Amino acid sequence: MRAYLFTAAALFLSLEASASVTIRKTDRGSTGYEVDFRYFNATAKRVLIGGGIQPFTDQFHTTGTSFRFNGRYDPRDYKPGDFYVSNPSPQLPAEPAYKWPYEMSRSEGGFWTYTTPLPSGTYSFAYLVDCNYAPNCSIDTGNLVIDPDLPPFLNVPGDQVASSFQVPFDARFQASPELNTNFDYALDTIDPHLHRGVIKTANYTSPGSIHPAPGVHDFTIYLPAEYGRVSGKKYPLLYLSHGAGGNGADWENLGRMSHIMDNLIRLGHIPPTVVVMPSFYNLDSESPRFIYGNKSNSVPVPPAHFVRENFERFLFPWVDEHYDVCRHASCRAYAGLSMGAVLTYEMFVNATDKFDYYGMFSPATAAPYINASSVAANPQLAHKGIMIAYGLYDFVLPQARDLQTALDAVEIRYINRVTPFGSHYWNTWQDELWWFGVKVLWKALPFGVQTGR
Ligand SMILES: *[C@@H]1O[C@H](CO)[C@@H](O)[C@H](O)[C@H]1NC(C)=O
Ligand SMILES: *[C@@H]1O[C@H](CO)[C@@H](O)[C@H](O)[C@H]1NC(C)=O
Ligand SMILES: *[C@@H]1O[C@H](CO)[C@@H](O)[C@H](O)[C@H]1NC(C)=O
Ligand SMILES: *[C@@H]1O[C@H](CO)[C@@H](O)[C@H](O)[C@H]1NC(C)=O
Ligand SMILES: *[C@@H]1O[C@H](CO)[C@@H](O)[C@H](O)[C@H]1NC(C)=O
Ligand SMILES: *[C@@H]1O[C@H](CO)[C@@H](O)[C@H](O)[C@H]1NC(C)=O
């Protein structure tokens, strides 16, 4: 009844500011699925769909050395085995040099529409309204518009600037002998009651923090479906970090990590595990501050040792006190992407007794690396479960290899994952989180050639 009474108002509102994304199974090419975007704006002159939706390429027309010469295919021309690599900078090329594949058409009544096939994967996007160059578009000036009907996962407004959705795999149109591009491990579970965990944001007391409120900092937490149903049980705990220019909501909003965890647990790859995704910005007023929604020309990086010390003082004790998590290093892990992998390396070297598992995804440089004398001074370094992962087209590939070379030199064994379609982007990090669960988390130490087989 109540819903009925509100229908007229809702309709009126929907004409004022409305958008929708519909994913349709088509049973035909190019991918077996089509996505309809619909956005209302009567005054706009041009609307592009920007963000994490990129042109496609294939492994025979992609290099990690010059993105300029990569194949860039419209998804209507998708072929099995195609994938996207993010632009080296997420900029839409300015007109008239390049026609972006996701340009919306104006239809009747001020609606803008776009329909495209898309293959399996997670896509994030925002509407760029009368703005052809992504770095120049922002929420403040109104030319970057977040889909009002598909709001981002976040704690406070401004923390995320894109919405996301997931397209399923259809083997008839997407299976390829060249490459597996099935991302269904990030799809929502078929049995929510049994398998869907809880994902939410939380605030904690962090003296000195300037965001989201003075003295208050925040994180995102994943609690497995079983959490709270077994009295007295303590769960293994994974800390999972964002990278430079991000925050604790990234892994869920852009990477759908809760679905990845649900599936890792459902398929028995790991026992139910709690995941805490902290934010490494705005911990105090001295260190570099960063807020997504605030346009910024440079992406600051706070020193890893500062973040570690801050988390050790305020975050870790708070999490231990408020959640049913296990306290021993053997059931605690730290992982992160890019600068978050540098922070993970800092935890490995300087919080060695707190975690037995470390996942360094697309690690940016963390040199100087450990050497024989560091291992002699801290022998535990050689008894951890480590994964080092990076994309084949990842611009940090050389740095990731340097880190591996440093560990090779002191005979520290690690699990290696080179994501075959990977650039420095979320599809790579989703893949790496998945394999971190399958091959690394909570596996018996020490790691050997049989680990994860
Ligand atoms: C519509 O487009 C104008 C630019 O013409 C922009 O400033 C405004 O924010 C848009 N409004 C909505 C509701 O998306
Ligand atoms: C982006 O904005 C800057 C500063 O306003 C301007 O100089 C530049 O021409 C803009 N770039 C494009 C491609 O519109
Ligand atoms: C965290 O604090 C901010 C600022 O006070 C508030 O806007 C937000 O809703 C809080 N989030 C949660 C999950 O309590
Ligand atoms: C963004 O920056 C402006 C200007 O510095 C500031 O007033 C505003 O509070 C910032 N927004 C957030 C969400 O911090
Ligand atoms: C972290 O470890 C490195 C390497 O052992 C050391 O040089 C550095 O001083 C440590 N940082 C802190 C803050 O303890
Ligand atoms: C080993 O690493 C430490 C810490 O970074 C450094 O001080 C030392 O000079 C290095 N030793 C050698 C032999 O390179």
- Which range (77-91, 111-125, 129-143, 236-250) has the least confidence? 77-91
Q: How far is the CA of 151 from the centre of ligand 3 (A)?
A: 17
Q: Ligand 4 center to residue 295 CA distance, Å?
A: 9
Looking at the structure, tell me whether residues 358 and 290 fall in a common domain. yes
Is residue 218 domain-resident? Answer: yes
Return d(Cα 57, Cα 75) in angstroms, integer. Answer: 9
User: Domain of 407: which CATH number?
Assistant: 3.40.50.1820
Q: Is residue 186 assigned to a domain? A: no
Instruction: Write out pLDDT tens, residues 383-419.
Output: 999 999 999 999 999 999 999 999 999 999 999 999 9
Q: Considering every ligand atom shown, identify the ligand nearest to the alpha carbon of residue 126 and give its number.
A: 1
- Report the residue among 156, 216, 218, 294 best suited for mutation to probe ligand 4: largest number of ligand atoms under 8 A from its CB: 294
Query: Does the C-beta of 350 come closer than 6 Å to ligand 5?
Result: yes
Q: Does some domain include residue 369?
A: yes
- 277 and 330, same structural domain? yes
DSSP 103: B
Atom of ligand 1 nearest to the CA of 145: 14
State how far the Cα of 354 lies from the Cα of 344, in Å rounded to an integer: 12
Final residue before a domain boundary, out of 177, 210, 235: 177
Angle in degrees, 0-180, between the axes of helices 257-266 and 426-439, rounded to the nearest 10 = 20
What tokens does 398 get?
């050389």
59's CB contacts (< 8 A; 6+ apart) are 81, 83, 178, 179, 420, 421
The pLDDT value given to residue 295: 67
Of 48, 136, 296, best ligand 2 pocket probe by most atoms within 8 Å of the beta carbon: 136
Residue nearest atom 10 of ligand 4, based on CA coordinates: 294
Looking up residue 80, the CATH number of its domain turns out to be 2.60.40.10
Long-range contacts of 305-313 (CB under 8 A, 24+ apart): 305/346, 305/350, 307/280, 307/283, 307/343, 307/346, 308/343, 308/346, 308/347, 308/350, 308/351, 310/206, 310/208, 310/283, 310/284, 311/278, 312/351, 312/354
Q: Is the CB of residue 189 below 6 angstroms from any atom belonging to ligand 5?
A: no
Give SS3 for 321: helix
Mutate to test the pocket of ligand 2, among 98, 133, 144 (most ligand atoms within 8 A of CB): 133
Q: How many CB atoms lie under 10 A from the CB of residue 223?
A: 21
Among protein residues, the one whose CA lies closest to atom 6 of ligand 1: 142
Q: Give the torsion sign (CA, 409, 374, 243, 431).
A: positive
Contact 146, 154 (CB under 8 A): no
- Amino acid 420: pLDDT: 97
- Which of 350, 371, 403, 410 to mutate to test ligand 6, by most ligand atoms within 8 A of the CB atom? 371
Q: In which element (H, E) is residue 439 found?
A: helix 426-439
Ligand nearest to the CA of 154: 3
Percentage with pLDDT > 70 across the chain: 93
Using a 6 Å cutoff on CB, does residue 94 contact ligand 2?
A: yes
Counting DSSP H helices and E strands in the chain, the numbers are 12, 16
pLDDT tens for 262-290 read 999 999 999 999 999 999 999 999 888 88
Quick one: pLDDT at residue 297?
64
pLDDT at 12 over 50: no
- Nearest Cα residue to atom 14 of ligand 6: 371
pLDDT value at residue 15? 44
Evaluate if residue 2 carries a pLDDT over 50. no
Let me know if residue 217 belongs to a domain: yes
Indicate if 227 and 104 belong to the same structural domain: no
Q: Which amino acid is at 427?
A: N
Asked whether residue 14 carries a pLDDT value surpassing 50, the answer given is no
d(Cα 34, Cα 79) in Å, to the nearest integer? 15
Is the CB of 205 inside a 6 Å radius of any atom of ligand 3? no
Q: Are residues 157 and 233 in the same domain?
A: no
Q: What is the pLDDT of residues 319-359, one digit of tens each?
A: 999 999 999 999 999 999 999 999 999 999 999 999 999 99
Q: Is residue 185 part of a domain?
A: no
Residue 447 belongs to a domain: no
- For 305, other C-beta atoms within 10 Å of its C-beta total 12
Mean pLDDT across the stretch 167-179? 97
Q: Is the pLDDT of residue 136 over 80?
A: yes
Q: What is the pLDDT of residue 4?
A: 28
Q: What is the pLDDT of residues 239-264, one digit of tens each?
A: 999 999 999 999 999 999 999 999 99
Q: Where are the alpha helices (DSSP H) in 281-355?
A: 304-310, 316-322, 339-350
Judge if the beta carbon of residue 279 lies within 6 A of ligand 3: no
Average pLDDT value for residue range 163-186: 97
Residue 41: the pLDDT is 95
| CA 390/CA 398 separation, integer angstroms | 10
DSSP per-residue letters across 212-244: SBTTEEEEEEEE-TTTTSSTT--B-EEEEE--T
Cα 331 to ligand 4 centre (Å): 39
How far from each other are the two terminal CA atoms of the chain, in whole angstroms?
A: 57
For residue 7, pLDDT beyond 80: no
Any atom of ligand 1 within 6 Å of the Cβ of 44: yes
Ligand 6 atom nearest the C-alpha of 369 is 5
Question: Do the beta carbons of residue 337 and residue 243 sit within 8 Å?
Answer: yes
81-114, pLDDT tens digit by residue? 999 998 655 567 665 556 788 999 999 889 999 9
Q: Which residue has the higher pLDDT, 287 or 157?
A: 157
- Identify whether residues 164 and 50 lie together within a single domain: yes
Strand pairing class (216-223; 198-205): antiparallel
Q: With 60 as the cut, is the pLDDT of residue 292 above it? A: yes
Give how many domains the chain has, as a whole number: 2
Q: What is the pLDDT of residues 202-239, one digit of tens each?
A: 999 999 999 999 999 999 999 999 999 999 999 999 99
Mutate to test the pocket of ligand 4, among 161, 210, 291, 295 (most ligand atoms within 8 A of CB): 291
Looking at the fold, whether 382 and 426 belong to one and the same domain comes out as yes
What does the mean pLDDT of the chain come to? 91
* 373 Cα–ligand 6 center, Å: 7
The answer to whether residues 22 and 164 belong to one domain is yes
- Residues lining ligand 4, judged by CB closer than 6 Å? 158, 291, 293-294
109 by DSSP, 3-state: which?
helix
Q: Quick check: 195 pLDDT over 80? A: yes
Looking at the structure, tell me whether residues 317 and 386 fall in a common domain.
yes
Same domain, yes or no: 202 and 330: yes
pLDDT of residue 312 exceeding 50: yes
Q: Are residues 196 and 136 in the same domain?
A: no
C-beta neighbour count of 87 within 10 angstroms: 17
Cα–Cα distance for residue pair 408/428, rounded to 1 Å:
24
Q: Could you say which of 177, 204, 231 is where a domain stops?
A: 177
- Does residue 451 lie in a domain region? no
- Whether 298 and 350 share a structural domain: yes
Pairing of strands 121-129, 198-205: unpaired
Ligand 2 pocket, residue 267 CB under 6 Å: no
Three-state secondary-structure class, residue 259: helix
Structural domain of 171: 4-177
Q: Is 123 helix (H, G, I), strand (E, B) or coil?
A: strand
Residues 216 and 348 occupy one common structural domain: yes
- Structural domain contains residue 403: yes
Span from the CA of 212 to the centroid of ligand 3 (angstroms): 7
Q: Which of 40-49, 57-66, 222-231 is least confident?
A: 57-66
Q: What is the pTM of this model?
A: 0.93
Residue range 46-64: mean pLDDT, rounded: 91
Residue that is last in its domain, among 125, 145, 177:
177
201 contacts 219 by C-beta, under 8 angstroms: yes
